Chains A and B, each alone.
Chain A
Amino acid sequence: MPEQPLVLVVDDEVTTLETLAYQIGRDFRVMTAENGIAALAVLDAHGPFAAVVSDQKMPGMDGLELLEKVREKHPDTVRVLHTAQTELSVAVSAINEGKVFSFLCKPCPTDDMRRTVREAVEQYHTVLAEREMLERTLQTSLHALFSWMEMVNPRAFARAERIRDLSQVLCRELDLPYTWHIEVAAMASQLGAVTLPPTVMERLNRGLPLPDDEQKMTNALPEVAARLLHGIPKLDEVVDIMSALRATDPRRPDLPEEVPAAPPTPAVSVLRAAIEYQALVGRGVTVEGALAILERSPDQDPAVLEALSRILGGALGSENVRAVRVNELEVGMRIAEDVISVNGVTLVGRGVRVSATLLERLIEVKRNAQVAEPILIDVSTEETADV
């Protein structure tokens, strides 16, 4: 049986507190606090709370101030003001500043109190359920978007995966939190590549010089990704990361000078290093060469480059590749070289980890004798295989 939701009641008058605990305690677990400071401590220590019912007039911190702090620190907790003060100004402030769910006058009839708290708890659950659904929808949509990228442009997808993995290792090395925003930004960094004609993509992959019009198309890739993601709920932070990457992109001589040069966040610095590094090695530059180029770049964060150097130092010389047939592939193996069809079309990009879906697809293609074998897989240690 699920645990009953938790409700906090706050009042400096002890008999009122006992009464509220009695009224609400029939339906919910109740904790009490005699002032605002104690209430915040209880919320921090014993949360999450579905609702908080607070008196208005208390010494030190009044109810409105408390509920405002609750809104800032525990935005999901639904707030109810319970007061003997009937001034309109208090009610207006409660609604406008405290964004309270309900306003109850003392002494509150038991039925009204129980109904209001029940509705507050329902509101809490509704908000949580809506958010969960939104997050699941977002997760599914992103998965669909990146699966589409994998189908349309396997090389771009593979590069995105390598950028993502390197960013993760860099965050770990730098003791930075690796959030899902960074992961999505890493994958999205290559999203714009799906708009490039295959010939341009091929030249780009090989590091060949591009004519002006093609260079312009390539320069516009971050905008394409940002446009695709812009407006999707909860991706604001990802779009911010993408925009920061774009704003000081050293390959963008066409950027106006007034582009804000705010100091990059650690996430941006990590992604910038990962993207540039993968772009360089993707064009055939050696690991040592790529590091040397990055170290000369004013746009790279020295601390991130040191971390990258430490990681790659461990990886240097440890590459270990094995040739396998399609029927020997296993989920989790990492592809070490592009898998191509017999007529030269890239089926899977280098660096991709074999998933169950991918394995099924390759087996299907193999049935039609369309896969060029053997396939090279990376069997170096997990730490080094990640980069």
Chain B
Amino acid sequence: MSDDTIRARIRDLVGDGGAGAAELVGRIVASFLNRAPDLIDKFATAAAAGDAADAAHWAHALAGAAGNVGAIRLARLAASAERDALAGGLAHGRGALDAAFAEVRADLTAVMHDLAAATPR
């Protein structure tokens, strides 16, 4: 499921823009892959410190970033963590987020690999 939405989103972004578009989208994906672990860390740190507002802020950022590359499952998990934090619940561990992100990374890597192979240079 996650793979489908990610693949659809990346295809949508690249469109018929050719190698140039694929390269630009590749940079956006790389930016997300670099940033997401940091967002999960910040969320977990804030949650551990009992800072609900900060935890909600980082969870929201993660949800937005994940949704942007079509990683819907990760985006939903992050949005749920944000809602819980806003409701005062900080029980959300990072385990589920880490696991979901690992899947997203694998999916994105595969999609970008396929895209690179299919794009004429």
Chain A contact residues, CB within 8 Å of chain B: 11-16, 18-19, 22-23, 26, 55, 57, 59, 84, 106-107, 109-111
> Within 8 Å CB of B25, what residues of A?
22
B53 nearest in chain A by CB position: A59
Question: Other than the known A12-B64, A16-B68, A19-B68, what 18 A-B pairs have Cβ atoms closer than 8 Å?
Answer: A13-B61, A13-B64, A14-B35, A15-B32, A15-B35, A15-B69, A16-B64, A19-B28, A22-B13, A22-B25, A22-B28, A26-B17, A57-B60, A59-B57, A84-B79, A106-B64, A106-B68, A107-B68
Q: B65–A13 contact, CB under 8 A?
A: yes
12 contacts between A and B (CB under 8 A): A12-B61, A13-B64, A15-B28, A15-B32, A19-B28, A23-B13, A84-B67, A84-B75, A106-B67, A107-B9, A107-B70, A110-B13
> Within 8 Å CB of B67, what residues of A?
84, 106-107
The 0/1 profile, CB within 8 Å of A marked 1, for residues 55-82 of chain B is: 0010011011101111000010001000
> Within 8 Å CB of B102, what residues of A?
none
How far is B13's CA from A111's CA once the two chains are assembled, in angstroms?
9
Question: Which residue, A14, A15, A59, has most C-beta atoms of chain B within 10 A?
Answer: A15
Closest-CB distance, A57 to chain B (whole angstroms): 6
Interface pairs A-B: 7 shortest CB-CB = A13-B64, A16-B68, A15-B32, A15-B65, A15-B31, A107-B67, A18-B28
> Within 8 Å CB of B57, what residues of A?
59
Number of interface residues of B (CB under 8 A): 24
B24 sits at the interface (CB 8 A): yes
How far is B14's CA from A23's CA once the two chains are assembled, in angstroms?
9
The 0/1 profile, CB within 8 Å of A marked 1, for residues 77-89 of chain B is: 0010000000000
Q: A22-B25, A107-B70 are in contact. Are A16 and B65 (CB under 8 A)?
A: yes
How far is B12's CA from A110's CA once the two chains are assembled, in angstroms?
6
How far is B71's CA from A15's CA once the two chains are assembled, in angstroms?
13
> Within 8 Å CB of B63, what residues of A?
84
> Within 8 Å CB of B95, what residues of A?
none
Task: Select which of B15, B28, B31 is within 8 A of A110 by beta carbon.
Answer: B15
How far is B63's CA from A337's CA once the two chains are assembled, in angstroms?
80
Q: B68–A15 contact, CB under 8 A?
A: yes
> Within 8 Å CB of B28, what residues of A?
15, 18-19, 22
> Within 8 Å CB of A106, what residues of B?
64, 67-68
Closest-CB distance, B95 to chain A (whole angstroms): 23
Task: Select which of B24, B60, B65, B70 is within 8 A of A22 by beta carbon.
Answer: B24
Question: Which residue, B17, B27, B61, B70, has most C-beta atoms of chain A within 10 A?
Answer: B61
> Within 8 Å CB of A13, what residues of B?
61, 64-65, 68
> Within 8 Å CB of A110, what residues of B?
12-13, 15
B27 nearest in chain A by CB position: A18
> Within 8 Å CB of A18, what residues of B?
27-28, 31
> Within 8 Å CB of B17, what residues of A?
26
Q: B15–A84 contact, CB under 8 A?
A: no
B75 nearest in chain A by CB position: A84
> Within 8 Å CB of B35, what residues of A?
14-15
